[in-house]
């Protein structure tokens, strides 16, 4: 019985340490990301870059994304899209997202077919981040 209590205490101790680490991470997690355009909320952050770097109207591009969570694990479900808020329409193409591991994602199928303001949409679970770019 004594041995069992000791196990429980040891187990509780590990749980407490893990909980403390998680809490610490939740408060002060640096959420380090590779260079790119950084967009973040209180819970998640992404850094993205496009290839080519300069988005041209009517020209396909690739998007490389890195994401991290400031609280808990990164959500499983990631969805990327873009639209033109003033025109109230999206892209004519559906971007695919391929996980590369370690919070990195490779996305193809991007094409902005009109000049003006486009808004990237990064859905990470229930968290939505947006970022506007002007394409000319």
Partner 1 sequence: MIRLAAAALLLLCAGPAWAQLLDFTEAEQRAILRHGPWPAPWTPDPSNRASGKPEAIEFGERLFFEPRLSPSGKVLCATCHAPYRGWQDGRARAFGLAEVDRNTPSLFNLRHSRWFGWDGAGDSLWAQSIRPILEAREMGGSQARAAALVRGDPEYACRFEKTFGAPPAADEGVLAGIGKALAAFQETIVSGRAPFDDFRDALSRKDFSSMKKYPEAAQRGLRIFVGRGNCSACHFGPAFTNGEFHDTGIPFFIKGGVDAGRHGGLKKLQSNVFNLLGPYNDDSSGASAVKTRQVAAEHRNFGEFKVPSLRNVAQTAPYMHNGSLATLADVVRHYSEINPDRLHSDGESLLKPLRLDAMEIADLVAFLESLSETASALPPRRPAAACR
68 sits near partner 1 (criterion: CB under 8 A):
no
- Sole residue written with tokens 């850094």: 47
Measure the CA–CA gap between 135 and 113, rounded to whole angstroms: 10
87 sits near partner 1 (criterion: CB under 8 A):
yes
**List of residues 6+ apart from 6 with CB closer than 8 A:** none
**Helix/strand/coil for 130:** strand
Options 16-24, 37-45, 110-118, 123-131: segment touching partner 1 (CB under 8 A): 110-118
Pick 34 or 85: Cβ nearer partner 1: 85
106 sits near partner 1 (criterion: CB under 8 A):
no
**Helix/strand/coil for 11:** helix
Contact set with partner 1 (CB under 8 A):
57-58, 60, 86-89, 91-96, 108-109, 111, 113-116, 136
């Amino acid at each position: 019985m004594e041995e069992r209590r000791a196990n429980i205490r040891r187990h509780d101790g590990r749980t407490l340490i893990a909980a403390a680490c998680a809490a610490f991470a939740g408060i002060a997690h640096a959420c380090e990301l590779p260079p790119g355009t950084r967009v973040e909320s209180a819970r998640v952050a992404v850094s993205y870059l496009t290839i080519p770097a300069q988005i041209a109207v009517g020209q396909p591009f690739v998007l490389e994304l890195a994401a991290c969570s400031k609280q808990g694990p990164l959500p499983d479900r990631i969805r990327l899209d873009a639209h033109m808020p003033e025109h109230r329409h999206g892209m004519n193409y559906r971007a695919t997202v391929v996980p590369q591991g370690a919070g990195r994602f490779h996305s193809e199928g991007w094409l902005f077919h009109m000049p003006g303001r486009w808004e990237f949409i990064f859905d990470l679970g229930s968290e939505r981040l947006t970022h506007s770019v002007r394409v000319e």
